[in-house]
Amino acid sequence: MTNSSNTADSGSLQPPEVDFTALSPGQTIGRYEIVAVLGQGGFGITYRARDVLLKREVAIKEYLPYALAMRQGGTTVMPRTTKHADDFEWGRERFVSEGRTLATLHGSSSIVHVFDFLEANGTAYIIMELLSGPTLEDRLRQGPLGADEIDGILKPLLDGLQQVHDAGFLHRDIKPGNILLNADGHPTLIDFGASRAAIAGRTTAMTAIFTPGYAAPEQMTSARQGPPTDIYGLSATLYHAIAGKVPPGSFDRMLDDSYQPLTQLRPAGFAPGLLAGIDAGLSLAARDRPQSIEAWRPLLALGTGPRGDSTVVMNRPAALLDPASPPGDSPPSASEEAKAPAKRRTGLWMALAGIVVALLAGGGYYAVALRGPDPEMVKARAAAEQAEAARKEAEQEAVRLRAEAEERHKAEAEAAERRKLEEEKRQKIEAELAEAAKAKAEQEAVARHKEIEAARKAIEFVAGDFDHFGKTLMMIGLKDHADELRLQGVDIVDDPSLRQLAVNALAAQPRNLRCRQTDRLTDGSPLYRCLITPLNARGPLAEVPDSERTDLALALVRIGLVLASCDAPRAYADAEDEARNRAQSLWSRVKVTEYKRRCLR
């Protein structure tokens, strides 16, 4: 189809080295004469050939999956083993169905045209137009496309892909390497991978076909594929053409999505609707992508968009065929399966009879002159008998494999049922244990709440206006509290003049104390931490929050009226050092040696 890059199955990442030889130049397939090999891969070979009847060059794709078949005698393609016979024949039928469908798609210039398809040499061939020119992949090596170039390729590709989908068909391998560009930049979609995907999905001998970066997530699983699958591939191709790089592979995105939307990259010159439409086509979940080309067009702003008061409904085409059942195929009935061997034997001998008629018609002289069996006929008959024997053996092997598969399926179903019952039993036990643990946790939480509430209530809290100091500055009296409160964090100082000084300082204007019990002395006397409203505080004083109050004991230490206790917090000691340096009140009377000795007892 092209002398540039269209190999037999360019959808594979790196076609494995094959162990078969291609047809030689000069050999014929029907009315087509082989000229040269264009490419070959894991699923077959593509040739340049000449249509001797219409005098034109064509491209011919030959079905020859390397893992299932091999060439014998330089022409005939045969299954490698009887084990592969069924898969080879099944794949050939899919290949022919692909050619039959593509041959009907002549309404779009963006799809490679199929002229014919035929079966010969034990395999099948698709004859299509021979195209030349670079691929989009070749073009992208020169740099990203501009907005005008994107517009030039997008609409033809959408038209062609919609025609493919309307025929109930999928491409399954859209990427820059499968888009040819002519001299005017017009694109043509080549190398459909439907039959390859079907074969790879049926047999473990073949590797699934997809290209990282362009393949939708469902192509790596057994999930159903449809138009959104091709929309993902085309969106990835457009992303590459605009952003200049391949988007992250869908498998990697499912683990850690590093995809940068085009609407964030904002390449210059492109309409926001186009960028948003491409981002939508690259959604990981198939249900989140446009469900058809028709529904995708308004998002890309290439067709007539919906009105502001209308709703765009993305419906999935109902007639899409499963990749394992190409267009035109339907499951054979039991009677058809029974008749199939007889039909194949009849067709085999009819083909042999056709060879005899051709020899008699075109070479009667040799038939009369030799007066004996034609060597070619003998070889053809022997090949036919070998093929029939191989077919019978393959049928027997297929019956055995089906029986084993059914038995294995039955055993797996029984094992699955047992696992289901065991899982239900385990879940029931876990639910019961979880319920019991939950009830126990709730009970413990209620008990802890009660303990906390009881401890909170046990802490004594008193509040009121300042009344007086007791015998020492350590004792404070409140008007609404009968007993004197012992301050936490200060030592006893029995000095009447200091006590009077403190009373005068605190009584200069109305103040309010709020005390909470914090500890007890060894003799059981409770200790209190008291907070006092600052001078010039606005009333009502009782409503001043604790955050705006001053620690009374710390204030007394700071103004040099009391000594900090030996186990007082660091802030008390720092305040005491400052008061001592200023020789305020108490520190004008206390000797340093006595002060140092008081906490060493």
- Same-domain pairing of 144 and 262: yes
Band (pLDDT 50/70/90 cuts) for residue 380 is: low
- The tokens describing 344, both together, are 């194949």
- Same-domain pairing of 2 and 80: yes
- Same-domain pairing of 145 and 264: yes
Name which residue leads in pLDDT, 247 or 365.
247
Residue 467 has pLDDT above 90, yes or no: no
Q: Is 501 inside any structural domain?
A: yes
Q: Is 170 inside any structural domain?
A: no
CA quadruple 90, 93, 97, 99: dihedral sign: positive
**Number of alpha helices (DSSP H) and beta strands (DSSP E) in the chain:** 16, 16
Q: How far apart are CA 152 and CA 109, in angstroms?
A: 13
When the pLDDT of each residue in the chain is averaged and rounded to a whole number, the result is 79
* C-beta separation of 40 from 7 below 8 A: yes
- Same-domain pairing of 12 and 79: yes
* C-beta separation of 237 from 176 below 8 A: yes
Distance of CA 260 to the CA centre of its chain: 14
Amino acid 350: pLDDT: 42
Amino acid 211: pLDDT: 81
The residue-averaged pLDDT of 72-91 equals 87
Amino acid 156: pLDDT: 94
Phi and psi at residue 51, to the nearest 5°:
-80, 105
User: Picking from 52-66, 92-106, 168-182, which range would have the lowest pLDDT averaged per residue?
Assistant: 92-106
Residue 465 has pLDDT above 70, yes or no: yes
Amino acid 209: pLDDT: 58
Closest CA relative to residue 155, chosen from 104, 109, 211, 112: 109
User: Picking from 114-128, 344-358, 529-543, 578-592, which range would have the lowest pLDDT averaged per residue?
Assistant: 344-358
Produce one character per residue of 96-115: b if its CB has 16 or more CB atoms within 10 Å, e if not.
bbbbbbbbebeebebbbbbb
Which of 397, 422, 456 marks a domain boundary? 456
Which of 298, 315, 331 marks a domain boundary? 331
Residue 205 has pLDDT above 50, yes or no: no
Name which residue leads in pLDDT, 6 or 239.
239
CB within 8 Å of 378: residues ≥ 6 apart: none
Mean pLDDT is highest, among 231-240, 313-322, 393-402, 470-479, for 231-240
Band (pLDDT 50/70/90 cuts) for residue 196 is: low
Name which residue leads in pLDDT, 110 or 203.
110
- Same-domain pairing of 91 and 207: yes
Q: Is 111 inside any structural domain?
A: yes
User: How many domains does the structure of the chain reveal?
Assistant: 4
Residue 305 has pLDDT above 80, yes or no: no
- Same-domain pairing of 230 and 327: yes
Q: Is 175 inside any structural domain?
A: no
The residue-averaged pLDDT of 162-177 equals 89
Q: Where are the beta strands (DSSP E) in 428-580?
A: 461-469, 475-478, 485-487, 512-520, 526-532, 550-551
- Same-domain pairing of 144 and 200: no
Residue 315 has pLDDT above 70, yes or no: no
Share of the chain above pLDDT 70, in %: 78
- Same-domain pairing of 294 and 145: yes
Q: Is 436 inside any structural domain?
A: yes
- Same-domain pairing of 155 and 95: no
The CATH number of whichever domain residue 529 belongs to comes to 2.40.50.90
Residue 529's beta-bridge partner residues? 516
Is the entire prediction scored with pTM above 0.75?
no
pLDDT, one tens digit per residue, over 530-571 is: 999 998 888 899 899 999 999 999 999 988 888 888 888 889
The residue-averaged pLDDT of 503-527 equals 85
Which of 392, 423, 456 marks a domain boundary? 456
Band (pLDDT 50/70/90 cuts) for residue 382 is: confident
- Same-domain pairing of 393 and 418: yes
Range of the domain at 542: 461-597
Amino acid 19: pLDDT: 44
Q: How far apart are CA 599 and CA 475, in angstroms?
A: 21
Compute the chain's Rg from CA coordinates: 46
Residue 314 has pLDDT above 50, yes or no: no
Residue 16 has pLDDT above 50, yes or no: no
Q: Is 304 inside any structural domain?
A: yes
In order, the DSSP letters of 574-592 are HHHHHHHHHT-GGGGTS-H
Mean pLDDT is highest, among 231-240, 297-306, 452-461, 574-583, for 231-240
Amino acid 197: pLDDT: 52
Band (pLDDT 50/70/90 cuts) for residue 573 is: confident
* C-beta separation of 65 from 12 below 8 A: no
pLDDT, one tens digit per residue, over 343-368 is: 443 343 344 334 333 333 333 333 33
Phi and psi at residue 413, to the nearest 5°:
-65, -45
Amino acid 237: pLDDT: 97
- The tokens describing 269, both together, are 């010159």
Mean pLDDT is highest, among 348-362, 381-395, 474-488, 497-511, for 474-488
- Same-domain pairing of 261 and 314: yes
Q: Is 179 inside any structural domain?
A: no
Q: Is 442 inside any structural domain?
A: yes
The CATH number of whichever domain residue 240 belongs to comes to 1.10.510
- Same-domain pairing of 119 and 235: no
The CATH number of whichever domain residue 125 belongs to comes to 3.30.200.20
Residue 53 has pLDDT above 80, yes or no: yes
